[in-house]
Structure 1
Amino acid sequence: MKKKISSEALCDSVINGMQEKKGFDIVKMDLRKIPGSITDFFVICSGSSDTQIDAIAGSVDEEVSKKCKESPWHKEGIQNKEWILLDYVDVVVHVFKKDRREFYDIESLWGDADISYYGDTLVASKTPLN
């Protein structure tokens, strides 16, 4: 039987795939301590064009397939290229066009999650106040 990869390792591959295609404002949201959460993690990033968000989603899919031997259970938004969602069950990936990300503001909706911000070299974290 195939050993299931950890959701943390899956997140690492997702983030690598995003960084490979210059995704920006990368955020990892740990939802495991939130009662009734639908997944372990959201990983979110922005792209500046239809072409870039398509390339980012493709890079994530390729990186996760290569490193983790996993494929998304479900994909959405591939046609309209404003918000592409890749659902790996324990990790849900959101690749947004910048204006769509601001409109939906997922980070605020799940504001009590532990959030890590990924820049080119920096990882900063925010733990919600209790």
Structure 2
Amino acid sequence: MSTSTTSAPAKISADVQERLALILDSIRDIKGKNILQIDLRKLDDRPADFFFICEGESTTQVSSIAGRIQQRMKQELSEFPKTATGARHANWICLDYFDIVVHIFHPETRKFYELEDLWSDGIITEYETL
């Protein structure tokens, strides 16, 4: 995928930083693995400002991670996803919070779609699995 870029991204607002931190913490609550954040703000054709990509070792864990994110976003920030797709089979659950999209994968599904390679023009931050 060819993407064009704009100037360097602006500083992240405190509101967005809080939301990103809550999502990361929620993923870690359920022991999500191989966690990446991709800052897409420099790309003109971006679907969101940020992606989170992580994986769970089973479909149960994938569902649990998604549920934890939704629960904490609702309880702590009164935010609901615009859409939440993939829960039925739980190989790839996508939570769309408008400017932040969270992708929670089963490992084989993540390997197949290679989403982080598709959006490698963004700024990728890897987080240690706790």
TM bucket, shorter chain: 0.7 to 0.9
Please tell me the root mean square deviation across aligned C-alpha atoms, in Å: 1.3
User: What's the counterpart of residue 65 of structure 1?
Assistant: 74
Partner of 2:49: 40
Q: Is 1:105 aligned to residue 114 of structure 2?
A: yes
Q: Which amino acid in structure 2 is aligned with residue 76 of structure 1?
A: T
2:101 paired residue number? 92
Runs ≥4 residues deviating over 4 A: none
TM-score by length of 1: 0.85
Q: Offset of 1:64 from its aligned partner?
A: 1.4
Pairs aligned (count): 117
Q: CA deviation at 1:106?
A: 0.6
Provide the rounded CA distance (Å) in 1 between the counterparts of 2:120 and 2:72. Answer: 28
Bigger relative contact order, structure 1 or 2 (CA pairs below 8 A, ≥6 apart):
2
Runs of at least 5 residues in structure 2 that lack an aligned partner in the other structure: 1-13
The 3-state SS of whatever aligns with 2:35 is strand
Mapped contact 1:24–1:46 kept (Cα < 8 A): yes
Aligned counterparts of 1:56 and 1:105: Cα–Cα separation in 2: 20
Is 1:56 aligned with 2:69?
no
Q: Deviation of residue 9 (structure 1)?
A: 2.1
**2:35 aligned to 16, 26, 44, which one?**
26
Amino acid across the alignment from 1:64:
M
Q: Deviations over 1:68-111 (max 9, x none)?
A: 22110101001011000000000000000000001000111011
Conserved in 2, the CA contact under 8 Å of 1:77 and 1:84? yes
Shift of 1:7: 2.8
Distance in 2 between residues matched to 1:18 and 1:75, nearest whole Å? 16
Q: Percent identity?
A: 35
